[in-house]
Amino acid sequence: MHTSSGTLIKNEEDIIKWHEHIQHAKDERIQYKSDILTAKQSIQALGSLNNIAPNTTANTINLILHFSFDYVQCIQIPHLVQQEGDIYFKTPIKVQVFGVCNDAIPQQVIFLNEEKYFVGKGPNAIHFYLANYGYGA
Higher pLDDT, 114 or 84: 114
Residue 97: CB atoms within 10 A of its CB come to 15
Query: For residue 80, what pLDDT band results from cuts at 50, 70 and 90?
Result: low
With a CB cutoff of 8 Å and minimum separation 6, the contacts of 89 are: 78, 79, 80, 81
**How far, in whole angstroms, is CA 121 from its chain's centroid?**
14
Alpha helix ranges (H) inside the chain: 12-46, 123-131
What's the rounded mean pLDDT across residues 93-116? Answer: 85
Give the pLDDT confidence score for residue 122 in this predicted structure.
84
What's the rounded mean pLDDT across residues 89-102? Answer: 80
Cis previous bond, 78, omega within 30 = no
Give the pLDDT confidence score for residue 93 in this predicted structure.
81
24 has pLDDT over 90 = yes
What is d(CA 130, CA 137) in angstroms, rounded to the nearest whole number? 10
Higher pLDDT, 105 or 29: 29
**How far, in whole angstroms, is CA 52 from its chain's centroid?**
22
101 has pLDDT over 80 = yes
48 has pLDDT over 70 = no
The residue type found at 108 is Q
pTM above 0.85, yes or no: no
What is d(CA 9, CA 111) in angstroms, rounded to the nearest whole number? 44
